[in-house]
Amino acid sequence: MKEYTVEKNDAGQRLDRFAAKTVPLLPSSLLQKYIRLKRIKLCGKGAKRDTRLCEGDTVQFYINDEFFDTPKAENAYLTVSAPKLEIVYEDENILLVDKQPGQAVHPHDGAEYGKTLIDHIQAYLYAKGEWKPREENTFAPALCNRIDRNTGGIVIAAKNAEAMRILNEKIRDRELEKQYLCVTVGKMNPPAGTIACFLLKNEKKNLVSVYHKPVPGAKTAITHYKTVRSKGELSLVQVTLETGRTHQIRASFADRGCPLLGDGKYGIGAKNRAYGETRQCLYAYRLTFSFQTDAGILNGLKDQSFEVRNVPFRSKYFN
């Protein structure tokens, strides 16, 4: 038998979800069965799977020891001896990091063990003593938003469960505003405006198609843009997303005849090679906490904006 005490970051979870995170190797079907058979107990007694846990509760597992082996991927942060992060902002609840183009935010199919952004963030907080895995049952510092590998910009990490819950809620309710900078091949006409279209994703090819009327499976995409500066055939464009669809900026601008420089999926290969760009010139450079409702422990961030100091392609092409 193994027993775990519910800590602050675990409180409020359902019993079955707590158990799934605590014993990730236990198959879901067995987990539910063991709750019914009372081999997983709450405070020494049987409980329903949707029972909400309180701080100080104890959960007992009367299951085989092999289910408690820790999956290798969960220890990736231990392999990062010198975390490398471009920190934009940090407090006791959140961390804003400027992710560099080329770095993945999460491992993909077990690849890049110890090299992803979340590995470096967890290693950083572990080294500072702000995250103590042995004192946590299920919580680990986590990312609240994602950016494509070849896109750079601000990524939000939550240091505790309450911050993660609030941020996920605010992102869902669109109370965070993200602005991007990009370089287009060609000049947008008009120089400022809104692109409204429908995007249909091909999961196998990881590509989206643009439509100008509703089609089955396609999602509405709304993109606001403003040309900041043009130089020759290139333009620096500021973008604000009203919706957050896969490849929304890249596909929308390409459809308008102004693909992003360096974009290998939607761009112009000859132009990318001519400029020596192998990654799309796209950067999530500014984040504003536009809270409209109570944000609890994050209320101090209301109406604050944070911006990346150095956007590489801005200084390269538009000095």
Q: What is the structure's pLDDT at 74? A: 61
- DSSP H or E run through 95: strand 94-99
The pLDDT value recorded for residue 244 is: 87
Q: What is the DSSP secondary structure assignment for residue 284, as one 8-state letter?
A: E
Q: Is the dihedral of CA 101, 107, 111, 112 positive or negative?
A: positive
Measured between alpha carbons, how far is 161 from 163 in angstroms, rounded to an integer?
Answer: 6
CB 113 within 8 A of CB 120: no
Q: What is the CATH number of the domain that holds 260?
A: 3.30.2350.10
Q: Kindly state whether residues 92 and 185 are assigned to the same domain.
A: no
Segment 33-38 long-range contacts (CB within 8 Å, at least 24 positions apart):
34/61, 34/62, 34/63
What the block records as the tokens of 99 is 């992710």
Same structural domain for residues 56 and 107?
no
Q: What is the pLDDT of residue 70?
A: 58
- Burial code (b: 16+ CB inside 10 Å, e: under 16) for 185-198 equals bbebeeeeeebebb
pLDDT at residue number 318: 93
The answer to whether 139 touches 160, Cβ cutoff 8 Å, is yes
Pairing of strands 192-202, 207-211: antiparallel
- Say how far residue 150 (Cα) sits from the centre of its chain: 14
* Same domain for 140 and 223: no
**What's the pLDDT tens digit per position in 156-170?**
999 999 999 999 999
**Domain shared by 189 and 214, yes or no:** yes
Say whether both 9 and 88 belong to one domain: no
Count of domains forming the chain: 3
- The ranges of the chain with pLDDT < 50 are none
Shared-domain flag, residues 145 and 159: yes
Tokens of 265: 């999926």
Specify whether 285 is located in the same domain as 306.
yes
Spatial separation of the C-alpha atoms in residues 267 and 307, rounded to whole Å:
27
Distances in Å between the Cα of 315 and the Cα atoms of 156, 236, 271, 276 are 25, 11, 19, 16
User: Domain limits at 46?
Assistant: 2-68
Q: Which of 172, 188, 219 is the last residue of a domain?
A: 172
Based on the fold, state whether residues 144 and 225 are members of the same structural domain.
Answer: no
Whichever domain contains 33, its CATH number is 3.10.290.10
Q: Which two tokens stand for residue 289?
A: 């906490």
Q: Same structural domain for residues 275 and 194?
A: yes
Q: What is the pLDDT of residues 48-94, one digit of tens each?
A: 999 999 999 999 999 987 777 655 556 777 778 788 999 999 999 99
Q: Are residues 295 and 163 in the same domain?
A: no
Per-residue confidence (pLDDT) for residue 299, from 0 to 100: 97
- According to DSSP, the residues that pair with 5 across neighbouring strands are 58
Instruction: Answer yes or no: do 107 and 151 share one domain.
Output: yes
The last residue of a domain, from among 47, 68, 89: 68
**Would you say 261 and 185 are in contact if contact means Cβ atoms under 8 Å apart?**
yes
Q: Which of 17, 38, 68 is the last residue of a domain?
A: 68
Q: Please tell me whether residue 165 adopts helix, strand or coil conformation.
A: helix
- Single-letter residue type at 206: N
- Reference 200, options 176, 216, 177, 184; nearest CA is 216
End-to-end CA distance of the chain: 65
Hey, how many other C-beta atoms are within 10 angstroms of the C-beta on 297? Answer: 14
Indicate whether 271 and 151 sit together in one domain.
no
Residue in the block written with tokens 């500021």: 238
Q: What is this structure's pTM?
A: 0.80
From 103, 241, 93, 245, select the one nearest 157 (Cα to Cα): 93
